[in-house]
Amino acid sequence: MSSPEMDGQIAELGASLLTRVDELARRVVAAVGDEVEFYRDDPTVSEESLYETSVDNLTLVFRSLEDRREFDLSAAAQTGRLRAEQGVPLPAVMAAFRVAAHQVWQGLREMLVGMPTASAELALAATEKIWSGQDSYVEAMASAHREATMRRVIDDEYERAALVEALLQGRHLVDYTRWEVAQLLRMPADGPYVVIAAAPPMIGRLPLPEIAARLRAVDTYSAWRLFPDIHLGLVHVSSPAAHRATVDLLGRVATTPVGISPPFDDLIDTSVHMRYARLAMESVPAGELIREFDDSVLGVAAISAPDVTRKIADVILGAFAGLASDDQQLLTSTFHAWVAADGSVDDAAYALSCHPNTVRYRLRRIEKVTDRSLRVPRDLAELCLAFEIRERL
């Protein structure tokens, strides 16, 4: 059979198939629903939507056969973009196209069987044309799906970054419910959360690269924002075990100081805990990299209004400035050990590995330098707050 004659018969098949578009589209919908798990179990794509895209794609396939021209891939590309926007995974869409191609081939075979004059040569030529079109359609759909998915990921990241920044700055998100905020951040709506602050090794350089993916590996959700002088993360710690796993992970990957806020339950409190995390980061002891902020009453009071509390510390501990730095550190550590020991000189001495009389001598020096007595409640309260401010700020 000559090529023009063969093309003519394929065109007739295309015209005949056009008359059966509605029937074949409904067969595609039924087959996809039976054979493709996503379409069977997930209600994202309705049967009506699947039917409409099937009609569009089949119409262009059969019209290309009828007109003897290159396949029009516009419907396939549009389907790829639409399914990406709906969140349908690419493998599921490709599987649906494969099922649709089999239904088209089945319809073609039925028509050839009903044509007494149809030759094996015509059947082979028509089948080759259909499967060639299938390859082109799948490629066009997949390319459009990937492009749309990438745009969606980029847009989502911009939105998440803006939302994280708004939470860190304490802005009231009046246009969002708590659940909408959590959904956009892709984390649970109920706490506890912590804020993590890490110091960049240089401006614009991530101190904790791939930290979100690393945390997901330990089943922890997070959202991050990089600023010139700090890398901040909002992290959902679902349990004490998740909190420990997060701290352990940071201890393994951190190369610069990292501060962790106390846990909190309401996203509205993110900005306050960002301050705690930053202060913990800025006060990481020498030789260490991780510090968790202690949410004691004194600790919170010490940083609640830094300008005011610094003034308080200067008034109470101003005379400390005249001591040598080693002396200041010695008296400060002794006071903290004594307070941690609930006022027990013996326990403080044990913690400091020194004699109790040494602790008593250092405490008397603190009283003399500050002109405050550890036996007077008001004086003791002032000293506790001043030393806390000194440590925090």
Mean pLDDT computed over every residue of the chain = 82
- The type of residue at 8 is G
Question: Which residue intervals of the chain bear CATH 1.10.490.10?
Answer: 3-152
Q: Indicate the CATH number of 306-392 among 1.20.1300.10, 3.30.420.40, 1.10.10.2840, 1.20.1630.10.
A: 1.10.10.2840
> Could you tell me which residue, 281 or 131, shows the higher pLDDT?
281
Q: Using CA atoms, how far apart are residues 338 and 361, in angstroms rounded to an integer?
A: 12
Question: CB-based burial of residue 71 (10 Å sphere; 0-12 exposed, 13-18 middle, 19+ buried)?
Answer: buried
In this prediction, residue 88 carries a pLDDT of 87
- Kindly report the pTM of this predicted structure: 0.49
In this prediction, residue 305 carries a pLDDT of 59
In this prediction, residue 154 carries a pLDDT of 54
CB 54 within 8 A of CB 104: no
Strand pairing category for 230-236 and 258-260? unpaired
In this prediction, residue 300 carries a pLDDT of 56
Q: What is the pLDDT of residues 165-174, one digit of tens each?
A: 777 776 666 6
| Separate counts of helices (H) and strands (E) for the chain | 17, 5
5-14, 71-80, 191-200, 233-242: lowest mean pLDDT where?
Answer: 5-14
CB 230 within 8 A of CB 164: no
Helix H or strand E segment including 259: strand 258-260
Tokens of 38: 């996503």
pLDDT bracket for residue 257 (50, 70, 90) = very high
Please report, for residues 189, 246, 320, 334, 392, the alpha-carbon distance to residue 387 in angstroms, rounded to integers and kept in the order given: 37, 30, 11, 11, 9
Q: What is the pLDDT of residues 10-22, one digit of tens each?
A: 777 778 888 888 9
Q: CATH topology for 178-295?
A: Alpha-Beta Plaits (3.30.70)
In this prediction, residue 282 carries a pLDDT of 80
CB 148 within 8 A of CB 80: yes
In this prediction, residue 198 carries a pLDDT of 93
Strand pairing category for 258-260 and 290-292? parallel
Q: What is the pLDDT of residues 67-112, one digit of tens each?
A: 777 778 888 888 888 888 888 888 989 999 888 888 888 887 887 7
Question: Which residue intervals of the chain bear CATH 3.30.70?
Answer: 178-295
Residue of 291, 272, 388 whose CA lies nearest to 332: 388
In this prediction, residue 256 carries a pLDDT of 92
Question: CB-based burial of residue 96 (10 Å sphere; 0-12 exposed, 13-18 middle, 19+ buried)?
Answer: buried
Does 155 have pLDDT greater than 60?
Answer: no
In this prediction, residue 56 carries a pLDDT of 87
In this prediction, residue 195 carries a pLDDT of 93
Give the mean pLDDT of 360-382: 89
> Could you tell me which residue, 2 or 92, shows the higher pLDDT?
92
SS3 278: helix
| Angle CA 46–49–51, to nearest 5 | 110
Q: CATH topology for 3-152?
A: Globin-like (1.10.490)
- The type of residue at 205 is R
pLDDT bracket for residue 2 (50, 70, 90) = very low
Q: Using CA atoms, how far apart are residues 64 and 59, in angstroms rounded to an integer?
A: 8
Q: What is the pLDDT of residues 262-301, one digit of tens each?
A: 899 888 888 888 888 888 888 787 788 988 887 655 555 5
> Could you tell me which residue, 154 or 230, shows the higher pLDDT?
230
